[in-house]
Chains A and B, each alone.
Chain A
Amino acid sequence: MAGKTEAETADTVGLTINPLELPRRHQLGLLGLVAFAVLPLAAPVEAIGFISSLTVLQVTGALFFAVYVMTWDVVSGYTGEISFGHALFIGVGAYTSGMLNVHIGLPLVASIPAGVIAASLAGLLIGFPSLRVKGPYFSLITLVTPIILLRVFVYFSDVTGGETGLFGIGTISLDPVTNYYVAFALFVFALAVFLAITRSDAGQILTAIREDEDAVVSVGLNPAKYKLFAFVLSGAIGGLGGALYVHTYAQGVATPSETLGLVLSIELIVATILGGIGTITGAAIGGLFFFLVRTWLRNVEVTIPVLAVPVSELYFLIFGLITLGFLFFLPEGLVPRVLMEAKRLRGRSAADAQPDGGGEP
């Protein structure tokens, strides 16, 4: 891992970035973003057969999911405080905005920021125990908090819609293409914010906290400040994502399973493991990949012969087994591994490596 986080010369850290001079993997990333940007425009074109309006819908969902995954990575991948209930922030954002809109008639311009603020407060609320309570115990708290919230929601189901969900929430748009661009804008925004934070000094500090919190204290930095910052930021963007999700893709419906559920929280972890913990870009790619493959698996018509069970019902099982495999054999995740292999093949020396605040971008 030596040399991977070595800073570039002062020039490149400045604000003028020439795309042609960026390292190959950054160029690929930019290319990918451009491809996503024009995807819906290609949809009606018959020649590109596999892209249909269904694909636009699916990629929209994938973009939302990737945002959620990035929020998990910025906390758990970077500070090392493993959250098993990150869906909490998504759900708080979604339901705050949804309920304010449905029950009080608050317009989306106001309810969405309210959702973001509520989710940020949730981030703070979850962040505080991480200062007092050690690793696994903290993880336990994160695991049970959304469950408590969920059951309270079910209890108050006349207000929250209970398990079936809250209906009739206002929407920004029902047009798939518009929703796609909302999701895409959110994705780019989240990616930009998280990359800015993690590639700055804060990124070094956060990974240092993950590595050894006492060492961070000994250099005069207060870990609490940075941990809370990560949690609040994660909560804010998670909440923004949840609110936007409900008002666009979900067409005005907020359901607990899509926004608060344990399965969602676990899927975020799985996706990050697959993509690469502590990288942000790995999380984004892992998130997109996970969501699209999951959707594909759910729609696949194959049946497993002996068990007479369609593959579509097995998707979680399959992902679970893959995750177990990754944890054993590829714990750093796919993206870092691919980058390492690429670097090895090209025979680059450590001095050529680029800065990224704690892991390969």
Chain B
Amino acid sequence: MSANQENGEFAPGDGLLVIDDLTKKFGGLTAVDHLSFAVEEGEILGFIGPNGAGKSTTFNCVTGTYPPTAGTVYYRGEDVTGEPAYQMVKRGMARTFQSFRPLRDRTVVENVQLALVPDRLFSMAGLRGETRERARALCERVGLGDRLQQTPGELPHAGMLRLELGRALATEPRLLLIDEPFAGLSGPEIAEISELLTELREEGITMVVVDHNMRGLLQLIDRAIVINFGAKLAEGTPEAIRNDPAVQEAYLGGEGT
């Protein structure tokens, strides 16, 4: 980290995604409080904090769901603050939803297919065999190869997560923001998903994983940022985080390691 970064100041080029002095207020409530950090290309960054710490709000500001009250978001060196969410996806920043949002009126493979459809009013590309093939391949990539024709209603919890990932992957992201993937998963399932995410990293995708439960996360990530009450609490390797007294205090009596 440069001297500037240690002071909490980040320059646009410090990483694939750079958040500089991000603040988000809802009326009188400050959900995100002058938050700054950088995501380096090729890493898996953990974004950790107790419930209500402001993780989802930060996500939403970064991905364009709503603009921040103040602060800047840089993606690949460009200022993309406040750009609409669909635009961010086109730039290569995809996200999954914590409460999954599959399209329930169609099958798994059709869900992924939608992400492969070109953004044009007049197009038949999605109906061509080639697109079907790509969708099928993506489903297999995320472990849904044997569930292609099922509808989201028939999927188990882990399957819905895989569908979220599959759909996000179909947009060919360089940066993938994953919102609380491990909630509701069993130990073995967490290991499987972690393995999948590590494989994706090998393929060149940078990831930011949010979770409030550090248990499954610390093995997966390279680095972590801990926030509480909207502000950065700690930053560093999983080891450093685990032993950080401020972090331990924040999780006192909660879901610590």
A and B: direct contact (Cβ < 8 Å)?
Answer: yes
- Decide if B128 touches A204 in the complex (CB within 8 Å): no
Q: Which of A204-260 contact B (CB under 8 A)?
A: 204-205, 207-208, 211-212, 214-223, 225-226, 229
Q: What is the 8 Å Cβ interface bit string for chain A, positions 3-32, against chain B (1 contact, 0 not)?
A: 101111110010000000000000000000
Instruction: With A201-B118, A201-B125, A350-B149 as known contacts, state yes or no: A219 contacts B171, CB within 8 Å.
Output: yes
Q: What is the 8 Å Cβ interface bit string for chain A, positions 51-76, against chain B (1 contact, 0 not)?
A: 00000000000000000000000000
Residues of B within 8 A of A229 (CB): 121
| Minimal beta-carbon separation of B97 from chain A (angstroms) | 7
Q: Which of B163-198 contact A (CB under 8 A)?
A: 167-168, 170-171
Partner of B129, one of A9, A204, A207: A9
| Minimal beta-carbon separation of B82 from chain A (angstroms) | 15
A221, B90: Cα distance in complex, Å: 8
Closest to A229 in B: B121
Partner of A204, one of B90, B94, B104, B114: B114
Count B-side interface residues using an 8 Å CB cutoff: 43
- Decide if B119 touches A204 in the complex (CB within 8 Å): no
- Decide if A218 touches B95 in the complex (CB within 8 Å): yes
| Minimal beta-carbon separation of B16 from chain A (angstroms) | 18
Q: Which of B40-48, B105-113, B237-245 contacts A (4 or more CB under 8 A)?
A: B105-113
Partner of A358, one of B105, B113, B170: B105
Count A-side interface residues using an 8 Å CB cutoff: 36
**Residue from B101, B104, B105 whose CB has the most chain A CB atoms within 10 Å:** B105
Instruction: With A1-B151, A6-B110 as known contacts, state yes or no: A220 contacts B121, CB within 8 Å.
Output: no
- Decide if B117 touches A205 in the complex (CB within 8 Å): yes
A199, B127: Cα distance in complex, Å: 9
Q: Is B246 an interface residue (CB 8 A)?
A: no
Closest to B108 in A: A2
Instruction: With A204-B117, A220-B90 as known contacts, state yes or no: A10 contacts B103, CB within 8 Å.
Output: no
**Residue from A5, A226, A355, A358 whose CB has the most chain B CB atoms within 10 Å:** A5
Residues of B within 8 A of A199 (CB): 127
Residues of B within 8 A of A216 (CB): 86, 114
- Decide if A211 touches B125 in the complex (CB within 8 Å): no
Residues of B within 8 A of A2 (CB): 107, 149-151
Residues of A within 8 A of B103 (CB): 208, 211-212, 215
A13, B132: Cα distance in complex, Å: 13
Q: Is A299 an interface residue (CB 8 A)?
A: no
Q: Is B85 an interface residue (CB 8 A)?
A: yes
- Decide if B117 touches A7 in the complex (CB within 8 Å): no
What are 19 A-B pairs with beta-carbon distances under 8 A? A1-B105, A2-B150, A10-B128, A10-B130, A13-B128, A200-B126, A201-B118, A201-B123, A201-B125, A202-B121, A202-B122, A202-B123, A207-B105, A211-B105, A214-B97, A219-B114, A220-B115, A221-B114, A222-B84
Q: A219-B115, A222-B119 are in contact. List 9 more A-B contacts (CB 8 A).
A: A1-B106, A2-B149, A7-B131, A211-B106, A219-B167, A220-B171, A221-B86, A223-B86, A226-B121
4 tightest A-B CB contacts, nearest first:
A220-B89, A219-B115, A10-B129, A201-B126
Report A's interface with B, CB cutoff 8 A. 1-3, 5-10, 13, 199-202, 204-205, 207-208, 211-212, 214-223, 225-226, 229, 350, 355, 358
Report B's interface with A, CB cutoff 8 A. 84-87, 89-90, 94-95, 97, 101-107, 110, 113-115, 117-132, 149-151, 167-168, 170-171
